[in-house]
């Protein structure tokens, strides 16, 4: 059987599958929002991935920081 190792910890695939379960999506609405992010979420990710914007957003807020760098 397959055995996975991470820094000296070894567990069998069957054991790993026992406690790592995939979440079931119950509606098309949930599927849609998992794959297509809102424009606001895209803006947040853009700002978070740019360190000066991320830092400034902690100081003055997201909207002001985003407008300063991408406005």
Taking only the tens place, the pLDDT of each residue in 29-56 is 777 777 788 899 999 999 999 999 999 9
Q: Is residue 24 helix, strand or coil?
A: coil
Percent of the chain residues past pLDDT 70, beyond the cut: 66
Instruction: Please say if the pLDDT value at position 16 is more than 70.
Output: no
Segment 7-34 mean pLDDT: 69
The domain locations on the chain are 37-70
Instruction: Report helix angle 51-60 to 62-70, nearest 10.
Output: 140
Global confidence as pTM: 0.53
Please say if the pLDDT value at position 5 is more than 60: no
Please give the pLDDT value at position 7. 63
CA 57, 62, 64, 68 torsion-angle sign? positive
Q: What is the reported pLDDT for 9?
A: 67
């Amino acid at each position: 059987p397959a055995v996975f190792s991470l820094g000296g910890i070894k567990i069998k695939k069957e054991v790993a599958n026992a406690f790592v379960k995939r979440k079931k999506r119950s509606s098309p609405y949930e599927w849609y929002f998992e794959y297509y992010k809102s424009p606001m979420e895209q803006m947040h990710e853009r700002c978070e991935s740019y360190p000066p914007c991320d830092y400034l957003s902690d100081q003055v807020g997201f909207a002001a920081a985003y407008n300063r760098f991408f406005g």
